[in-house]
C-alpha cells in the first residue's frame, strides 16, 4: 500500500493550514486517504471524533523492557497514578484474553485492544504475541494494536503482520544520537548493555528501520514523541518532517510528565515539562509538516474505557472470574451497537459538512479576514456538545476560532474545584488553578457556571459563556467568534491576562 505524503495533500486542498487551522475538529484525519480513514474511523486514539463514542483498553502483559528512558522509572505498580507505564496488576496472556472478552461484553463500544506495556511489548514477544494470536482467533471483532520503543521492531514486523495488526505506535523522541544520549542512558542489545550515544544510535537506527518496514507492509504507523524542554523540543520539528517523509500517518507530540514523586530520573533531577503554550506552539510548528494528533490523554498501560476515563476497577481479576461471558452473543450485541454509533457519526458528519459551508464568519465582517484567531475553552462530558458545568469539568477542550473556521487544539486537565462542599478551604486556590489552566483563552463555554468563578474568570480576562448549553461545540464556538466580531471585541487588543506568555 502506498501512503500519500500528507503535506502534499494538505497544501493541495487548502493552500497550507499550519498556523491558522483548517476546518473541523477532526482535522487530524480529514486529509487522510479514504482507505486509511476507513481503518481508523472507529479508533478512539486516532480520531478526536471517535474517542467520544468508542472505547479502548490496554492489557498489561508486557512488563519487561529493553531500554531505559529518563522519563520512566520502571516501578509500574501503582493504583493511583495515571500515566503511561503504570498498571495495577500484570496479566498472563490467558488472563488478558479473559479480561478483554469481559470488557468487550460489558462495554460494547470497546473496539480496540492495545498492548502498551508497562514495559516494551516487543521485549516480551512470547506474552505479547500469544495474547494477539488468541484474540485474533477468539474475538475477531476487536482491533489490535501495539506500541513500542522500536528497538526490537524490525525483527517483529513479520510476526505482527501475521496477527492482523494494522496499527503500530512507535515512540520516537529523536533522530540524533547526541540528543538521544540525554534521553536514553542505555539499551540492552545483542546481550550487552550499551550506554550513551552508541546505544542511542542503535535505537534510532532500529526505530527508523522498523518504521520503513511497517510502511512497506501497509501497516499504519503513528509516531509518539515526548516533548522535553531544552532536550528535544526544537529537534522534534525535524523528527516530524522525517517520520512523515517515511510514511507515518500521524504524529502525536505529548508533554513530558516529570513529577518528582513519580521517582523518574527526570522527576528527581528537576527536569521540567513544557507549558501548555510551549506544547501548543510546537504542535503548531510540527503540523506544517504533518498531521498532528492533539487529543491524546497519555493513559495507563492497563486503562479501560473511553479516553480520559478509566473503568479498570470494574474488571479486576477477581471480578472477571465471577463473570460468565458468552462471547458469541456479545459479538452480536456489539455489532448492533457499532452500527448505531456509525449511523450517529454519519449524521454528525452530514451536519458538519453543512456547517463547513457557513463556518467562515458570515456576520458584518464577512470580508475581513484580518481578525485575530481566538482560543476558547469548552466544558464537555462528551458527544461533541457543550454539556458540562464549569465546576465539574476535570478537563477543558481548547478550540481556536479564526477566519478559517474552528479547529480543535488540545485538552487541558484541571483539578475539580467544586466537590459539593462549601466549607472546603482549598476551594479558592483550586479555582484559581483551573483559571490558570485556561491561560491564553478569551472565552470559556459551559452549560452552567457559578457566580464566584464567573467574576474571577472575568477578572482574568476570560469571558464565561453559558448561552450555548447543549449545542454542538464547533457551531457554538463559531457563533461566539462572530458575535465578538460583530460587537467590536476583536477591534480591541487581546485582554492583558489572556496574552499567551512564552
Shortest distance (Å) from residue 303 CB to other proteins? 20
Q: Which of 130, 141, 265, 432 binds other proteins (CB under 8 A)?
A: 265
User: Which residue in the block uniquely carries the three cell numbers 497550507?
Assistant: 16
Looking at the Cβ atoms of 201 and 311, the one nearer to other proteins is: 201
Cell of 78: 501503582
CB of 118 to other proteins, least distance (A): 8
The 3 state secondary structure assigned to 386-403 is: CCCEHHHCCEEEEEEEEC
Q: Does 123 help bind other proteins (rule: CB under 8 A)? A: yes
Please give the C-alpha separations between residue 468 and each of 16, 126, 380, 479, in angstroms, as whole numbers: 31, 52, 12, 9
What phi, psi does 452 have (nearest 5°)?
-65, -50
Compute how many residues bind other proteins; rule: CB under 8 A. Answer: 31
76 is a contact residue toward other proteins (CB under 8 A):
yes
Closer residue to other proteins (CB): 47 or 147 = 147
Rule CB under 8 A: choose which of 77, 313, 326, 458 binds other proteins.
77
Q: Give yes or no for a contact between 66 and 123, defined as CB atoms under 8 angstroms apart.
A: yes
Give the whole-angstrom CA distance, residue 223 versus residue 147: 9
DSSP string, 93-114: HHHHHHHHHHHHHH-TTEEEEE
Q: Which residues have a Cβ under 8 Å from the Cβ of 269 and sit 6 or more positions away?
A: none
| 81 makes contact with other proteins (CB under 8 A) | no
Asked if 74 is part of the footprint of other proteins (rule: CB under 8 A), the reply reads: yes
Among 16, 155, 178, 193, binds other proteins (CB under 8 A): 193
Q: Could you say whether residue 129 binds other proteins (CB under 8 A)? A: no
Does residue 121 belong to the site contacting other proteins (CB under 8 A)? no
Neighbours of 19 (CB within 10 A): 12
Other C-beta atoms lying within 10 Å of the C-beta of residue 350: 10
Q: Which of 71, 186, 390, 396 lies at the binding interface for other proteins (CB under 8 A)?
A: 186
The DSSP bridge pattern shows strands 405-413 and 395-402 to be: antiparallel
Nearer to other proteins, 123 or 296 (CB): 123
**Contacting other proteins (CB under 8 A), which of 5, 16, 75, 218?**
75
Find the shortest distance in angstroms from Cβ 198 to other proteins: 12
Closer to other proteins by CB, 196 or 461: give it: 196
SS3 16: coil
Q: Report the alpha-carbon distance of residue 183 to residue 388 in Å, rounded.
A: 39
Using CB under 8 A, pick the residue from 38, 155, 178, 272 that binds other proteins.
272
Q: How far is the CB of 268 from other proteins (least distance, A)?
A: 9
Q: Which of residues 30-69 bind other proteins (CB under 8 A)?
A: 63-66, 68
- 87 secondary structure, DSSP code: B
Hey, what's the cell of 368?
A: 475581513
**Minimum CB separation from other proteins for residue 161, in Å?**
23
Burial class (CB in 10 A: 0-12, 13-18, 19+), 429: exposed
- Residue 257 lies near other proteins (rule: CB under 8 A): no
Nearer to other proteins among residue 75 and residue 333 (C-beta): 75
Minimum distance, C-beta of residue 76 to other proteins, in the bound complex (Å): 7
Examine residue 266 and tell whether it contacts other proteins (CB under 8 A): yes
Distance CA 110, CA 305 (A): 7
Which residues are within 8 A (CB) of 312 and not within 5 positions of it... i.e. 6 or more apart? 88, 300, 302, 303, 304, 305
Among 7, 100, 124, 439, binds other proteins (CB under 8 A): 124
> Would you count residue 229 as binding other proteins (CB under 8 A)?
yes
119 binds other proteins (CB under 8 A): yes
195 binds other proteins (CB under 8 A): yes
DSSP calls for 461-500? T-EEE-TTTTSBHHHHHHHHHHHHHHTTGGGSPPPGGGSP
| Rg of the chain on CA atoms, in Å | 23
Q: Contact residues for other proteins (CB under 8 A)?
A: 63-66, 68, 74-77, 90, 119, 123-124, 126, 185-186, 188, 191-193, 195-196, 229-231, 265-266, 269-272
Amino acid at each position: 500500500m502506498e501512503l500519500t505524503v500528507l503535506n502534499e495533500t494538505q497544501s493541495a486542498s487548502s493552500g497550507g493550514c499550519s498556523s491558522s487551522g483548517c476546518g473541523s475538529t477532526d482535522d487530524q484525519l480529514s486529509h487522510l486517504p479514504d482507505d486509511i480513514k476507513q481503518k481508523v474511523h472507529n479508533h478512539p486514539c486516532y480520531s478526536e471524533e471517535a474517542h467520544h463514542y468508542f472505547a479502548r483498553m490496554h492489557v498489561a502483559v508486557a512488563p519487561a523492557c529493553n531500554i531505559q528512558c529518563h522519563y520512566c522509572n520502571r516501578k509500574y505498580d501503582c493504583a493511583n497514578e495515571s500515566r503511561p507505564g503504570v498498571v495495577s496488576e500484570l496479566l498472563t496472556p490467558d488472563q488478558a484474553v479473559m479480561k478483554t472478552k469481559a470488557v468487550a461484553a460489558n462495554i460494547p463500544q470497546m473496539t480496540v485492544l492495545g498492548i502498551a506495556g508497562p514495559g516494551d511489548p516487543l521485549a516480551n514477544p512470547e506474552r505479547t504475541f500469544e495474547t494477539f494470536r488468541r484474540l485474533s482467533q477468539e474475538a475477531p471483532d476487536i482491533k489490535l494494536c501495539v506500541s513500542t520503543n522500536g528497538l526490537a521492531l524490525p525483527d517483529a514486523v513479520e510476526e505482527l503482520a501475521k496477527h492482523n495488526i494494522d496499527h503500530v505506535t512507535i515512540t520516537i523522541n529523536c533522530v540524533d544520537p547526541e540528543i538521544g544520549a540525554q534521553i536514553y542512558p542505555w539499551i540492552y542489545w545483542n546481550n550487552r548493555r550499551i550506554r550513551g550515544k552508541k546505544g542511542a544510535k542503535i535505537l534510532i537506527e532500529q526505530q527508523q528501520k522498523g518504521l520503513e518496514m511497517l510502511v512497506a507492509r501497509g501497516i499504519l504507523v503513528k509516531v509518539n514523541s515526548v516533548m522535553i524542554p531544552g532536550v528535544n523540543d526544537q529537534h522534534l520539528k525535524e523528527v516530524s518532517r522525517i517520520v512523515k517523509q517515511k510514511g507515518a500517518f500521524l504524529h502525536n507530540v505529548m508533554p513530558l510528565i516529570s513529577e518528582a514523586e513519580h521517582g523518574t530520573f527526570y522527576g528527581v533531577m528537576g527536569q521540567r515539562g513544557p507549558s501548555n503554550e510551549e506544547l501548543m506552539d510546537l504542535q503548531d510548528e510540527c503540523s506544517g509538516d504533518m498531521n498532528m494528533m492533539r487529543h491524546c490523554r497519555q493513559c495507563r498501560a492497563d486503562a479501560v474505557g473511553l479516553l480520559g476515563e478509566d473503568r479498570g476497577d470494574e474488571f479486576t481479576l477477581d471480578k472477571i472470574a465471577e463473570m460468565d461471558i458468552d462471547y458469541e452473543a456479545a459479538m452480536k450485541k456489539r455489532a448492533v451497537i457499532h452500527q448505531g454509533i456509525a449511523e450517529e457519526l454519519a449524521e454528525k458528519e452530514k451536519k458538519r459538512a453543512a456547517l463547513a459551508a457557513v463556518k467562515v464568519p458570515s456576520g458584518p465582517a464577512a470580508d475581513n479576514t484580518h481578525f485575530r484567531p481566538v482560543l476558547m475553552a469548552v466544558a464537555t462530558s462528551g458527544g461533541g456538545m457543550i454539556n458540562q458545568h464549569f465546576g465539574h469539568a476535570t478537563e477543558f477542550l481548547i478550540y481556536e476560532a479564526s477566519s478559517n473556521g474552528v479547529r480543535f487544539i488540545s485538552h487541558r486537565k484541571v483539578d475539580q474545584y467544586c466537590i459539593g462542599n462549601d466549607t472546603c478551604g482549598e476551594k479558592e486556590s483550586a479555582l484559581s488553578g483551573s483559571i490558570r489552566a485556561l491561560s491564553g483563552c478569551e472565552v470559556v463555554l459551559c452549560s452552567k457556571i457559578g457566580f464566584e468563578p464567573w467574576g474571577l474568570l472575568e477578572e482574568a480576562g476570560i469571558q464565561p459563556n453559558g448561552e450555548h448549553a447543549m449545542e454542538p461545540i464547533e457551531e457554538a464556538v463559531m457563533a461566539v467568534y462572530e458575535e465578538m466580531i460583530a460587537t467590536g471585541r476583536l477591534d480591541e487588543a487581546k485582554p492583558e491576562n489572556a496574552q499567551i506568555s512564552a
